């Protein structure tokens, strides 16, 4: 080192060490990392002692091998392999060597006709070019599809002055007997009845049964206006015209009533026969549910001769009917309307709906509606038109439904003095199980069975007293 450099970089005269005296000093404590490893680790991972069997020992130089065949992993020069010799020093080997000039003929091939062709690997150039062209075409198609699928179309005008929507003509078929055909023929004969008394009011339905203005409906529809001088009754027809109405007669025991309007030329409903109806027959209910005039619903007859007790707040109706049950939607306001068959003939007067118990309000349709059979309604309607009242047969007993676990019946709770039941010898506690040839399984069925007769008819009563069954005959009186 020359003096000029020594003066610039040499240690100052007053410095003995390499650094300043106040520099941080290394600890004189022995580095734990330099301590000898524990004996257990040395024996497990240290270099084996001379003569110890190892994986790197040449065949034959140690204990006899366990296999008879020579190892496939040992070669003659394996002892000199630096990867097997733990004492081998690390050295830098030679670099990779490449041919300076590849043989140009190695890329040339000759076909069967003696033509020379350039080859890429083992693939002829023509096939390689075809593959390249196919890849380019496929990529172009994919790019085009992606462009057309992802691009946003320009907004079209919001309004189109010459817009004209498509129409189809002649596609609707309304055969005779279809629901639309039935509704078209019956709707003019079904009316809506509006009842008001003071600040209160209600809506029901009715069926025109005589062309000179007689309308059949339910007693509970008009009973609120019967004895109220401040009440009004108005009938609304299918053509939206209306007329005031008067009550001709009411029958609380059958829940039927007849009104009369002064309006000539009314359409009259055709009354059929409920005795010809069977379960499963299609039916149509027509009326004004919830005040919706001219509403048509459809269903089937789901049961016949269903005993249903009719009574309610605000009406004097106290009836038990042998109803036609239907799943056609019937709601408040349908009462008094028509239940018609597939021919358009009225087979029942819609009267009641089933509801879930426990509710405070009136329930809507749950698929269980009931109608008074037209055979019974016709007879009562004719009596009301003729005299204003209807006559019913009476046995003179009050009963409740009972069962012994095997058989049901109607147990007599009390008997009116001098009644047909008293004259026949019935006693309180007797359980009536049949009237004539009709089985009685409840108090409602007892009322229905008696009501099927006329006053003065003689009937056979079968009942159980104690443990024995007995039979008596009774002549019915008038309710």
Known catalytic residues are 220, 255, 335
Residue 329 near residue 299, CB atoms below 8 Å: yes
Burial class (CB in 10 A: 0-12, 13-18, 19+), 61: exposed
Half-sphere exposure of residue 33, counting CA atoms within 13 Å on the CB side? 0
HEC profile of 449-471? HHHCCCCCCEEEEEEEECCEEEE
Q: Which residues pair with 320 in a beta bridge?
A: 309
Residue 283 near residue 346, CB atoms below 8 Å: no
The single residue listed with the structure tokens 């009963």 is 399
Query: How far from the centroid of its chain's Cα atoms is residue 219's Cα?
Result: 39
List all residues 6 or more positions away from 6 whose beta carbon is below 8 Å from its beta carbon: none
Kindly report the number of other CB atoms within 10 A of residue 199's CB atom.
6
Distance in angstroms between the alpha carbons of the first and the last residue of the chain: 148
55 closest CA partner among 79, 89, 88? 79
Helices (H) and strands (E) in the chain, counts: 8, 23
Q: Which residues pair with 400 in a beta bridge?
A: 411
Q: What are phi and psi of 334, to 5 degrees?
A: -75, -20
Residue 432 near residue 407, CB atoms below 8 Å: no
| Long-range contacts of residues 45-50, Cβ cutoff 8 Å, at least 24 apart | 47/86
The phi-psi region of residue 177 (left if phi > 0; otherwise alpha if psi is between -120 and 50; otherwise beta) is left
């Amino acid at each position: 080192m020359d003096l000029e450099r020594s003066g610039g970089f040499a240690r100052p005269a007053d410095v003995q060490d390499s650094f300043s005296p106040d520099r941080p000093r290394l600890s004189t404590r022995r580095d734990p990392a330099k301590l000898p490893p524990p004996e257990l680790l040395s024996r497990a991972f240290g270099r084996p002692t001379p003569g110890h069997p190892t994986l790197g020992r040449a065949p034959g130089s140690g204990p006899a091998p366990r296999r008879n065949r020579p190892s496939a992993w040992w070669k003659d020069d394996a002892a000199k392999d630096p990867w097997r010799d733990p004492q081998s020093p690390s050295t830098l080997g030679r670099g990779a060597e490449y041919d300076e000039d590849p043989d140009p003929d190695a890329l040339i091939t000759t076909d069967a006709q003696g033509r020379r062709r350039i080859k890429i690997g083992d693939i002829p150039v023509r096939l390689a070019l075809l593959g390249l062209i196919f890849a380019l075409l496929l990529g172009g198609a994919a790019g085009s599809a992606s462009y057309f699928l992802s691009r946003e179309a320009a907004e079209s005008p919001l309004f189109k002055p010459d817009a004209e929507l498509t129409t189809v003509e002649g596609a609707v078929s309304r055969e005779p007997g279809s629901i639309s055909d039935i509704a078209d023929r019956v709707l003019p004969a079904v009316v809506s009845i509006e009842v008001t008394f003071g600040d209160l009011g209600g809506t029901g339905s009715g069926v025109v049964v005589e062309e000179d203005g007689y309308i059949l409906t339910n007693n509970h529809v008009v009973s609120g206006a019967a004895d109220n001088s401040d009440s009004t009754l108005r009938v609304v027809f299918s053509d939206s015209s209306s007329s005031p109405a008067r009550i001709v007669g009411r029958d609380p025991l059958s829940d039927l009533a007849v009104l009369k309007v002064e309006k000539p030329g009314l359409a009259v409903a055709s009354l059929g026969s409920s005795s010809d109806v069977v379960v499963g027959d299609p039916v149509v209910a027509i009326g004004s549910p919830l005040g919706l005039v001219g509403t048509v619903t459809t269903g089937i007859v789901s049961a016949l001769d269903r005993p249903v007790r009719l009574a309610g707040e605000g009406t004097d109706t106290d009836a038990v009917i042998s109803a036609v049950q239907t799943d056609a939607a019937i709601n408040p306001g349908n009462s008094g309307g028509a239940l018609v068959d597939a021919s358009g003939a009225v087979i029942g007067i819609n009267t009641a709906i089933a509801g879930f118990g426990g509710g405070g309000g009136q329930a809507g349709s749950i698929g269980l509606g009931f109608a008074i059979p037209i055979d019974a309604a016709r007879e009562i309607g004719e009596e009301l038109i003729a005299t204003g009242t209807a006559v019913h047969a009476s046995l003179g007993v009050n009963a409740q439904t009972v069962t012994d676990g095997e058989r049901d019946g109607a147990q007599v709770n009390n008997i009116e003095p001098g009644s047909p039941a008293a004259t026949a010898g019935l006693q309180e506690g007797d359980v009536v199980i049949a009237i004539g040839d009709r089985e009685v399984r409840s108090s409602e069925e007892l009322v229905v069975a008696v009501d099927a007769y006329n006053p003065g008819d003689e009937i056979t009563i079968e009942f159980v007293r104690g443990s024995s069954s007995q039979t008596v005959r009774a002549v019915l009186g008038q309710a």
